[in-house]
Amino acid sequence: MLEGWLDHHRAITAVKCAGLTDDQLRQRPVAPSGLSLMGLVRHLAECERGWFRETLDGEDLPGIYFTDEDPDGDFHPGEDDTWAEAYATWQAEIATARKRAAAHGLDDEGTGRRDRKTGRPFTLRWIYTHMIEEYARHNGHADLIRESLDGSTGD
């Protein structure tokens, strides 16, 4: 059920981005926010990577889009950044996340970063729940962005 809800929200994100040009996907139409649909997808690729590869399986990986100099770089696509690249990266991270999750039980504890407050490791169940929340929140942002771009509503 958790995997199903996460996949549902992943699909909604893709629908919100479908049929738009790279320029539209980079636009930040909801002032004062600097969010764009491409930026959200790049951020979600970072989330997939961070939670399933780093937190669950303990990999030490550099950011895909963010750096120490630009810690929110995932949200800042430039004019040369393309939807094709952002989408391919996101889908590759989703595929890897699915493989990593399939190798664990829901109550298995991750071997990477731990909860800052408690010091305890995160379980796969917690990661799924967090990722559902992450996508749901950002899909709300995507709703507003998409509607402001072309009037499209619904999932």
Q: What is the pLDDT at residue 154?
A: 79
Range of the domain at 83: 2-150
Specify the DSSP element, H or E, that contains 110.
strand 109-114
Q: Give, in degrees to the nearest 5, the angle at Cα 154 between 148 and 155.
A: 115
pTM of the model: 0.96
Average pLDDT in the 15-43 region?
96
Residue 155 lies in a domain: no
Residue 23 lies in a domain: yes
Residue 70 lies in a domain: yes
Cβ–Cβ under 8 Å, residues 67 and 73: yes
The tally of domains found in the chain comes to 1
CA–CA dist 141, 143 (Å, integer): 5
Cβ neighbours for 80, distance < 8 A, ≥ 6 positions apart: none
Q: What is the pLDDT at residue 134?
A: 98
Q: What is the pLDDT at residue 78?
A: 95
CATH of the domain at 89: 1.20.120.450
Average pLDDT in the 129-147 region?
97
Structure token digits, residue 41: 């997808």
Give me the chain's average pLDDT, please: 97
